[in-house]
Structure 1
Amino acid sequence: MVNRILLFFLLSMFISQAQAANGLKNTSGNDNLAVNQAVTGRIGNADAHLHISQYTDVARFWQASHAGDSLQSVTRTKAHHFLKKAILPTSLIATGLVTMAVPKQTVLSKYRIHDTMHDWNPTFHTTADDYLLFAPAVVTLGLGAMGVKGRNDFLNQSLLFTKAELLMSVMVYGIKYATRVERPYGGVFTSFPSGHTAQAFLSATFLAKEYGHISPWISVAGYATATGVGMLRMMNNQHWISDVLAGAGVGILSVEFVYLTHQHRCGKKNNLVFAPALYHKGGGVSMAMTF
């Protein structure tokens, strides 16, 4: 009887230890599973994060590339637009150079054209060309000052006109002193190009840019005035036709370039007044600013 009790007790202990060992094994398996799941989750999150990061980088790269392409496209469009606008003025300058290069006896020679014009009226003289060259610009700035809506507000009109004047002056006087072409009346070597004509066509182009959209006759009137200034410069024996053609090209080109590059637009407060000033024997520029 005692042996049976002892055997039963040993079997009970063995079964208890086996169950405990099995429970420990299951617990360890669950823990391992939890660890594996945690590790897998972390790896999955890392992969997801890496995927999102890569996606973000690609998106940013695409946006930057797209922005760069857009900027290049805008730049190319502006350059193409300027090249189209530059055809006329560069053609005028080239034609003026042709009249200087051909032999004196040919029809296109500046000497032949000069002699033909002065045969009509050798004693002709007027000072109208000293005043008409500013007329289109005065009209433009006057309309802007009165509040007539143009392409730009009055302040930006003044800035554009100022920059065009500076560019035109640098080009005209730089070419004059580089080429040193003698004037028709002789003794003075500042003939090419004509500064009066450059100023007149700058003013006409400025008027056409700001108010030519209202009516084409506004542009026609401006360019007719500028052409008259060029003709008077030749009839007054001040310039050759080559000087007038080149001056017209420089004036137009200056305005086109300034309008292309004028990016920083100021506010619309009319605190700056800039306009040509006309005198008895010449002209200048007047400017007033309120603070």
Structure 2
Amino acid sequence: MLSRLQHLRILALFMPFGLLAPPLAAQTPQATPVPADTLHKYQDPVGSVPAKKPFLKSKVFRAAIVPTVLIGYGASTINGHGFYSSYDAKKDIRRVFGDYRNHIDDYLQWSPYLEVGGVLLAGVESRDDRVNLALIVLKSEAIMLSSVYIIKTLAGVERPDGSDNLSFPSGHTAQAFLAASIVHTEFRDKSQWYGIGAYTLATSVAAFRMINNKHWESDVVAGAGVGILSAHVAYLTHRNRWGRQPIRRDVSVMPLWSPAGGTGISLTWRPH
């Protein structure tokens, strides 16, 4: 049997190891969390190869198929060509509407843009922020106006009323369908009815251009294709530089006053 003194000596021998164990465990290095990389979140990882979609499912094909069909059909029905030619359409329109004329199409072509303003004022968020949306509109308009002018000049198709030889394609119709395409793209995630309403207005413009004897059937169908294609090209070639966030979050306005300078406004803008 061990005496009490021997028990104490054994405990004293092992006690330093028990006391040293907690500090050694506490000194074990801990893994430092790596902060998230927010500067390159829209870029593909280095060395990665993005999956290539089939051409029929690519963005380019989907953006071009509808306007290509419209422009092709319009070109195929110029004058007396096609299964239902422009001459056939004019004959039927004149039989129904006679000599009826109006100027509503001159104003209705801008109506989809009014829809954009009304929807934004109602508090519905668009896909792009205000600055990028404005840039897309400007780019779309430049593409459409230049395309319509070049095609009109080269085609030299006489208008139904004989006023000039700048009939093909319809600029009014191209303008209306361009704006309708922007409405559809910006708000289709909120509701498809915004796009349906815009395209209904654009179709009304095309109809009134023929009723007013300013354009042939071929002109308005091709004009619709040119307008849609212009908007699609603008979106495909646009690089959004503000992370697709509403720009108003980065804009602050503050009134200023000083005894020497009077009153004023301070505008602070911090784009992402």
TM-score, length-scaled by structure 1:
0.64
Deviation digits for residues 118-139 of structure 1 (CA, Å, limit 9, x no counterpart): 1112211111111111111122
1 CA distance for matches of 2:93 and 2:194?
29
Pairwise mapping of residues 151-190 of structure 1 onto structure 2 (< 5 A)? 151-190=127-166
State the shift of 1:144 in Å.
Answer: 3.5
RMSD: 2.6
2 CA distance for matches of 1:215 and 1:116?
36
Counterpart position of 1:100: 78
Mean CA deviation greater in 200-209 or 93-102: 93-102
State the shift of 1:157 in Å.
Answer: 1.0
2 CA distance for matches of 1:77 and 1:95?
23
Counterpart position of 1:53: none
> Is 1:84 aligned to 2:62, yes or no?
yes
State the shift of 1:154 in Å.
Answer: 1.3
- Which residue, 199, 209, 217 being the options, matches 2:193? 217
**One-letter code of the match for 1:202?**
L
1 CA distance for matches of 2:224 and 2:131?
26
Q: Percent identity?
A: 38
Q: Secondary structure of 1:100's match?
A: coil
Q: Secondary structure of 2:177's match?
A: helix
Deviation digits for residues 242-278 of structure 1 (CA, Å, limit 9, x no counterpart): 000000000001111111111142482598xxxxxxx
Pairwise mapping of residues 189-268 of structure 1 onto structure 2 (< 5 A)? 189-266=165-242, 268=247
Q: Secondary structure of 1:86's match?
A: helix
Q: Which structure's CA Rg is the greater one?
A: 1
Number of equivalenced pairs: 205
1 CA distance for matches of 2:99 and 2:124?
43
Counterpart position of 1:22: none
Mean CA deviation greater in 111-120 or 138-147: 138-147
Give structure 2 stretches of 5+ with no counterpart: 1-44, 252-266
Give structure 1 stretches of 5+ with no counterpart: 1-62, 272-289
Larger helix proportion, structure 1 or 2?
1
State the shift of 1:85 in Å.
Answer: 2.2
2 CA distance for matches of 1:196 and 1:208?
19
Q: Which runs of 4+ in 1 moved over 6 A?
A: 76-79
For the 8 Å contact 2:174–2:227, the answer to whether it is kept is yes
> Is 1:122 aligned to 2:98, yes or no?
yes
State the shift of 1:79 in Å.
Answer: 8.8
For the 8 Å contact 1:93–1:246, the answer to whether it is kept is yes
TM-score, length-scaled by structure 2:
0.68
